Structure 1
Amino acid sequence: MKASAADHAVPRSGLARWIYALKPVSWPKLFVPALLGQVLGATSAEGLDPVALGWGLAFTSLGLGFIVLLNDWGDRRVDAIKREMFPEGCSPKTIPDGILPAPAVGLAGAVLGCGASLAAAGAQLSLGRSFALPAGLGCMLIFVAYTLPPLRLNYRGGGEVLEMLGVGIALPSYNAYLQAGSISPTSWPWIAGFALLSLASAAASGLSDEQSDRIGGKRTLASTVGNAAARRVSETCVLLGAGVWLGASLLKPAWVSPWASIPALIILAWNFAQLRKVSDEAVTNAFGAQGAYKLHLHRAIWHSTTVAALVLWLQPSFA
């Protein structure tokens, strides 16, 4: 039976439809690493440059819209398969459910991508950062390789690694560069730990789409090795990311301040424990349990990283 948007709560006004398409619940996925990068740059420069913060926010916001909309445009076929298979098992999809037409979504995504490029160019001119534009374009090209033809690596088994590179490494590094003009060695342990946490999120992202992705030819970790293995990879990456932060705070406390890492690790550990409680229930097509699993995973990543960034910023010594 064909899924109908009428069977679900679908926004009615044009503005509400665009907001729905931009998926506000997922925004921390980019804003948290951007915040981390801005704070890491500010700590190495011993001061926050509000202009650099503004350019970083502009690039991240426009890039977010570029990614979200063009990802929906690129995935419209497998999204339609998911809605056909599980009409009651997922929320309405932007294009398959007719919330917005595919040409409008693709055009808006392209326009926002141009806007992100202009923001990177503006940052280069305004801040005197020689690599702001090429580095910004590099960040965007990671996504192009992820979803769009001809590479479409998310359909060939490379999506999780690209997400780690883009969200976990490129975005915080780019924002740190905008703030400081360089990336301090003291930033790398924080970024390395966050990259592993981003890989954990990427590994779990395909859980709810396992069967539809498999039918649609999209080779995610879940559709390739199965639900249980994907969860184990995700949980292992969380532990590895936490281990990097903990180890660095013990070996290099001047680089990874225990004042920032300890509260972050406590938050991460608490949410990881909650994640483990629901893990065995988050099996294939158990969409409710999968939602709870991802909720605790995202809280572990986003809340811990945000707290670490805020504590770093509030420390008078910028330790």
Structure 2
Amino acid sequence: MRVESMSPGARWLYALKPASWPKVLVPALCGQAVGAAVAGRISAGALAFGALWMIADVAFVVLLNDWGDREVDALKRRMFPDGSSPKTIPDGILPAHALLLAGLGAGAAALLVAWGAGAALDRPLLLPLTALALLVFAAYTLPPLRLNYRGGGELLEMAGVGGVLPLLHAYAQCGALAPAWLAALLPGLLLCALASALASGLSDEQSDRAGGKRTAATLLGNAATRRATEALVGLGALLWPAASLLGDAAPPPWSVAPATAVALCFRARLVRRSAAAVTNAFAAQAAYKRELHRAIWGGTTALAAAVLAAGLRAGRGAA
């Protein structure tokens, strides 16, 4: 890719990284689906809020993450000039100040959307939940906390992606802060989010270590991080059918079985690719993470669809 020939629109599209959006969109969709299942109907207003909010939130996260990581990204480009795709700031695709201003503007837009939807949908907690979601990310990558550098960033990502996002979107649909069905499924979602967070550091292991970041990959090494990733995604998928044994407090077993089957199928493929995904084997690591994403995103999407069908079929009342 020749950076100098890119149009302004292409530069911003590249900076927004659409391929990474499902990491945030899928758990939000799951929250919407479970909330609608609990309510027994789909709220078009909540769906509209979810779509607008997610555009703003994804832009906030992606742009400010690049701004916060600009120094270690530049270090990785120097260490491995041919080992990764161009980085937004170090490779001159967009200047740092443009990403900072656009990211902050996107965060303000997310707050504004939540305020408006909270009034329109009678969901007063949408604004504080949005503020919590933005603060979780700020603590992850922005000063002064920068927990992705100090240590514990993966746990913070687990809480934000696997917990706050589905809770916020379920609340938008049904008006319950922690509807029983979502509470039953949340442990599995949290473990899958943690698996994704651990694996995201594999390709940056050496540059992150050189840049002073404390991640699972820099502290435990490549092999231990892969083993933990594979264990977490498998356990997360198995917790969904286990949760269905809780009776009325959880979705019926038939609605979670497809999600577990999808996740475990792709986990098996993930394990087969594991041995090749060693340190600095960037192509093999990318293939490894594709299977992980298929396990998590495919399993969670199947979970959302089947649980929604179960809730609408049962005609459940609001939680």
Distance 1:85 1:192, change over 3 A: same
The superposition leaves residues 197-243 of structure 1 with CA deviations (integer Å, 9 ceiling, x where unpaired) of 00000011000000000000111110111111111111111122112
SS at match of 2:279: coil
2:314 aligned to 311, 314, 317, which one?
A: 317
Counterpart in the other structure of 2:43: 49
SS at match of 1:91: coil
The answer to whether structure 1 residue 96 and structure 2 residue 93 are counterparts is no
The answer to whether structure 1 residue 150 and structure 2 residue 144 are counterparts is yes
2:70 aligned to 70, 76, 79, which one?
A: 76
Contact 2:238 2:260 in 1 (8 A): no
Counterpart in the other structure of 1:67: 61
1:232 aligned to 216, 227, 231, which one?
A: 227
Counterpart in the other structure of 1:15: 9
Letter in 2 for 1:174: L
Q: C-alpha displacement at 1:255, in angstroms?
A: 1.3
2:260 aligned to 265, 275, 296, which one?
A: 265
Letter in 1 for 2:117: A
Distance 1:236 1:253 in 2: 29
The superposition leaves residues 151-170 of structure 1 with CA deviations (integer Å, 9 ceiling, x where unpaired) of 00000111100100000000
Counterpart in the other structure of 1:33: 27
Counterpart in the other structure of 2:104: 110
Q: C-alpha displacement at 1:265, in angstroms?
A: 1.1
With normalisation by structure 1, the TM-score equals: 0.95
Contact 1:11 1:17 in 2 (8 A): no
Distance 2:248 2:271 in 1: 30
Distance 2:252 2:67 in 1: 42
Distance 1:82 1:135 in 2: 35
Distance 1:187 1:233 in 2: 25
Counterpart in the other structure of 2:201: 206
Q: C-alpha displacement at 1:271, in angstroms?
A: 0.4
Q: C-alpha displacement at 1:253, in angstroms?
A: 7.0
Q: C-alpha displacement at 1:246, in angstroms?
A: 2.1
Letter in 1 for 2:151: G
Contact 2:184 2:249 in 1 (8 A): no
Task: Pick which of 140-149 and 217-226 moved more.
Answer: 217-226
SS at match of 1:252: helix
Q: C-alpha displacement at 1:123, in angstroms?
A: 1.6
Distance 2:38 2:179 in 1: 6
Counterpart in the other structure of 1:165: 159
Distance 1:296 1:317 in 2: 34
Distance 1:199 1:11, change over 3 A: farther
Distance 1:254 1:143 in 2: 31
SS at match of 1:70: helix
Q: C-alpha displacement at 1:184, in angstroms?
A: 1.2
Q: C-alpha displacement at 1:130, in angstroms?
A: 1.8
Distance 1:57 1:246 in 2: 29
Task: Pick which of 253-262 and 220-229 moved more.
Answer: 253-262
Counterpart in the other structure of 2:239: 244
SS at match of 1:89: coil
Consecutive unaligned residues of structure 1, counting only runs of 5 or more, are none
The superposition leaves residues 54-88 of structure 1 with CA deviations (integer Å, 9 ceiling, x where unpaired) of 11221122011000000000000000011111111
Distance 1:254 1:206 in 2: 36
The answer to whether structure 1 residue 140 and structure 2 residue 134 are counterparts is yes
Contact 1:11 1:20 in 2 (8 A): no
Distance 1:12 1:268, change over 3 A: same
Counterpart in the other structure of 1:308: 303
Letter in 2 for 1:175: H
Task: Pick which of 47-56 and 146-155 moved more.
Answer: 47-56
Letter in 1 for 2:308: W
Equivalent residues, number: 313
Larger RCO: 1 or 2 (CA < 8 Å, sep 6+): 2
Distance 1:10 1:300, change over 3 A: farther
Consecutive unaligned residues of structure 2, counting only runs of 5 or more, are none
Q: C-alpha displacement at 1:318, in angstroms?
A: 5.8
Task: Pick which of 290-299 and 249-258 moved more.
Answer: 249-258
Distance 1:11 1:138 in 2: 39
Counterpart in the other structure of 2:192: 197
The answer to whether structure 1 residue 85 and structure 2 residue 79 are counterparts is yes
The answer to whether structure 1 residue 295 and structure 2 residue 290 are counterparts is yes
Distance 1:17 1:103 in 2: 14
RMSD in angstroms over aligned alpha carbons? 1.5
Distance 1:73 1:121 in 2: 27
Stretches of 4+ aligned residues off by more than 6 angstroms: none
